[in-house]
Amino acid sequence: MMQFNWGGKIILGLLGMLVGGPIGLCIGVFIGHLLDKGTERVQSFNPFRPYGPGEQETVQKALFDTVFSVMGHLAKADGRVSEDEIAQAKAVMDRMQLNDEQRQQAIALFNKGKSADFPLEATISGFAAAVRHRKQLILVLLEILLQIALADGTLHPEEEAVLLKVAEGLGVPPQQFRQILNMLLAQAQFGGGQGAGQGGHQRAAGSSRPSLSQAYQVLGVNDSASNAEIKKAYRKLMSEHHPDKLASRGVPEEMIRLATEKTAEISKAYEMIKEHRGFR
């Protein structure tokens, strides 16, 4: 049922009548109508709007289905699914601590994504429609898929092409996609080298610890950023990966485990920068 917002019309209409009589009433109602329409638009795109009945379950299912079906599509991107890629998929399921039923669903979705006629664009479009204005969930999906693609230490060109299509379908500009990719590659260095890219993304030979430049990349800033900007970037990243905040936005508990794994690397990078710059 369509709902109408009458608050602005009533208040400004009455004020207009008191000031200008019938003509003032008409003007007040018109201005109130414009204000009410603006309020409706702001509310409809509010990223923190509470979920309606059943909406959170729909979003969680969309995220789960999209992650595992696109994971299968990524595995088949180079033409065949290797044993290593199957092992990586199982490792992701282990990290999520899926129960038997969830694991069977994930395997079925993975196999669906491997099929030659898998509708990637329609799948991404369906996910975007399900989450609508909740931009953070779009970034969570892209970050998880990038982590999966980097699980073997390499982002293959075929995988990168798929992920660029995913980003485009979600409305994420290529520049932002590259920034997220660079941040995840740098975070991998702070996690002991797992997921560190090869073929142009590999840690420099002989490097015993992550570099300061990688620490800046982890936070998504450059070395010319002020101390205040660095603190702001750190707090923003930690807030975005906080389990309670992710849960409130509809991220399933199993995927929160993946999304929050990076907080240790983020903290480690921040501490390195603080030590170098000498601020608290």
Judge whether residue 25 has pLDDT over 80: no
The three-state secondary structure class of 74 is: helix
pLDDT bucket at 263, cuts 50 / 70 / 90: confident
Q: For the chain, give percent helix, strand, coil, nearest 5.
A: 70, 0, 30
d(CA 275, CA 138): 34
Highest mean pLDDT among 97-106, 180-189, 205-214: 97-106
Mean pLDDT, residues 152-165: 86
pLDDT for residue 201: 40
Structure tokens at 198: 């090869």
pLDDT for residue 53: 67
Judge whether residue 18 has pLDDT over 70: no
pLDDT for residue 52: 66
The reported pTM is: 0.66
Judge whether residue 81 has pLDDT over 60: yes
Q: What percent of the chain has pLDDT over 70?
A: 71
DSSP 275: H
Residue 222, phi then psi, degrees to nearest 5: -110, 175
Judge whether residue 39 has pLDDT over 50: no
Cβ neighbourhood burial of 18 (10 Å; 0-12, 13-18, 19+): exposed
- Domain ranges, ordered by start, for the chain: 1-43, 55-198+209-277
pLDDT for residue 2: 39
Residue 119, phi then psi, degrees to nearest 5: -85, 80
Structure-token match 């290529």, residue found: 174
pLDDT bucket at 233, cuts 50 / 70 / 90: very high
How high is the mean pLDDT of the chain? Answer: 75
DSSP 171: T
**Which of 113, 87, 221 is CA-nearest to residue 212?**
221
Written as one letter, the residue type at 224 is S
Judge whether residue 209 has pLDDT over 90: no
Higher per-residue confidence, 31 vs 103: 103
pLDDT bucket at 147, cuts 50 / 70 / 90: confident
The three-state secondary structure class of 3 is: coil
Structure tokens at 96: 């999520």
d(CA 263, CA 260): 6
Which range (35-44, 67-76, 194-203) has the least confidence? 194-203
Judge whether residue 202 has pLDDT over 90: no
pLDDT for residue 259: 67
Chain centroid to CA 243: how far?
14
pLDDT bucket at 198, cuts 50 / 70 / 90: very low
Question: 122-140: per-residue pLDDT in tens?
Answer: 999 999 988 876 777 888 8
Highest mean pLDDT among 29-38, 65-74, 260-269: 65-74
